[in-house]
Amino acid sequence: MSQLNPKTTHKEFGGLSGVLLITFGLPTLLIVFHQLINENYQTNLIADFDLDKILTFKRPLLEIVTDGKIWTFYLIWFVSLAILDVTLPGYYKNGVELRDGSKLNYLINGISIVSFLVILLASRFIITDGQLPELRFLYSNVLEFTIISILFSFIFSIFVYIYSFIPLIKPNKFNTKERILAAGGNTGNTIYDWFIGRELNPRIGPLDIKLFCELRPGMLLWLLLNISALHHQWLELGYVTDSMILINMLQAIYVFDGVLNEDGCLTMMDITTDGFGFMLCFGDLSLVPFSYSIQSRYLSLNNVELGLPLSIFILGLGVVGFYIFKASNNEKSNFRQGKLPNLKYIKTERGTNLLVDSWWKVSQHPNYFGDWIYSLTWCLSTGFANPINYYYSIYFGALLLHRQKRDELKCQEKYGKDWEKYEKEVPYKIVPYIY
Ligand code: NDP
The closest alpha carbon to 325, from 377, 395, 383, belongs to: 377
CA of 222 to the centre of ligand 1 (A): 23
Distance CA 147, CA 231 (A): 23
Mean pLDDT for the chain overall:
93
Which of 332, 347, 369 should be mutated for ligand 1, with most atoms under 8 A from CB? 332
Other residues' Cβ atoms within 10 Å of the Cβ of residue 424: 10
Q: What does the DSSP assignment read for 240-274?
A: --HHHHHHHHHHHHHHHHHHHTHHHHTTSHHHHT-
Q: What's the CA gap between 47 and 24, in Å, rounded?
A: 28
Distance from the alpha carbon of residue 243 to the mean position of ligand 1, in angstroms? 31
Angstrom CA distances, 348 to 46, 251, 335, stand at 53, 38, 15
Distance from C-alpha of 244 to C-alpha of 231, rounded to nearest angstrom = 10
Q: Is pLDDT larger for residue 311 or for residue 54?
A: 311
Q: Distance (Å, rounded) from C-alpha 214 to C-alpha 285?
A: 8
pLDDT class for 44, splitting at 50, 70, 90? Answer: low
- In angstroms, what is the span from residue 16 Cα to ligand 1's centroid? 26
Question: Residue 339: pLDDT above 90?
Answer: no
pLDDT of residue 295: 95
Nearest CA to ligand 1 atom 27: 268
Q: In which band, very low, low, confident or very high, does the pLDDT at 388 lie, cut at 50, 70 and 90?
A: confident
Domain spans of the chain, in order of start: 7-301, 306-435
Residue 367 beta carbon below 6 angstroms from any ligand 1 atom = yes
Distance 354 CA to ligand 1 centre (A): 12
Q: Where is 308: in which H helix or E strand?
A: helix 308-336
Output the CA–CA distances (angstroms, integers) from residue 355 to 128, 343, 429, in the order listed.
53, 7, 14
How big is the chain by its Cα radius of gyration, in Å?
22
Question: In whole angstroms, what is the distance from residue 316 CA to residue 15 CA?
Answer: 42
Question: What does the alpha-carbon distance between residue 430 and residue 372 come to, in Å, rounded to a whole number?
Answer: 10
Does residue 411 surpass a pLDDT of 80? yes
User: Do residues 404 and 364 make contact, with C-beta atoms less than 8 angstroms apart?
Assistant: yes
Q: What is the pLDDT of residue 113?
A: 95
**Per-residue model confidence (pLDDT) at position 39:** 78
Contacts of 166 (CB under 8 A, 6+ apart): none
Q: Is 368 in the pocket of ligand 1 (CB under 6 A)?
A: yes
Residue 338 has pLDDT above 90, yes or no: no
Helix (H, G, I), strand (E, B) or coil at 364: coil
Q: Which residue of 211, 371, 429, 430 sits with most ligand 1 atoms within 8 Å of its CB, as the best mutation to test the pocket?
A: 371
Residue 421 CA to residue 435 CA, distance in Å, equals 18
Task: Compute the average pLDDT of residues 54-73.
Answer: 93
Identify whether the C-beta of residue 147 lies closer than 8 Å to the C-beta of residue 64. yes
Cα separation, 240 vs 217, whole angstroms: 26
CA distance 168 to 162: 13
Backbone angles phi, psi at 211, to 5 degrees: -65, -35
* pLDDT tens by residue, 80-126: 999 999 999 999 999 988 988 889 999 999 999 999 999 999 999 99
Between 58 and 325, whose confidence is greater? 325
| pLDDT band (50, 70, 90) for residue 298 | very high
Rounded distance from Cα 248 to ligand 1 centre (Å) = 26
- Name the DSSP class of 267: T
Say if residues 95 and 88 touch (Cβ distance below 8 Å): no
Distances (CA, A) of 56 to 34, 40, 170: 12, 11, 53
Name every residue whose Cβ is closer than 8 Å to that of residue 106 and which is 6 or more positions away in sequence: 92, 93, 94, 95, 208, 211, 262, 263, 266
| CB distance 410 to ligand 1 below 6 Å | yes
pLDDT tier, 299 (very low <50, low <70, confident <90, very high otherwise): very high
Q: Contact 169/84 with Cβ under 8 angstroms? A: no
pLDDT on residue 117: 93
pTM assigned to the model:
0.92
The answer to whether residue 11 scores a pLDDT higher than 80 is yes
The closest alpha carbon to 142, from 244, 58, 205, belongs to 58
Phi-psi category of residue 263: left, alpha or beta, with phi > 0 → left and psi -120 to 50 → alpha: alpha
- Residue 43 clears pLDDT 60, i.e. is over it: no
Atom of ligand 1 nearest to the CA of 356: 18
Model confidence at 309: pLDDT above 60: yes
Average pLDDT over residues 149-171: 95
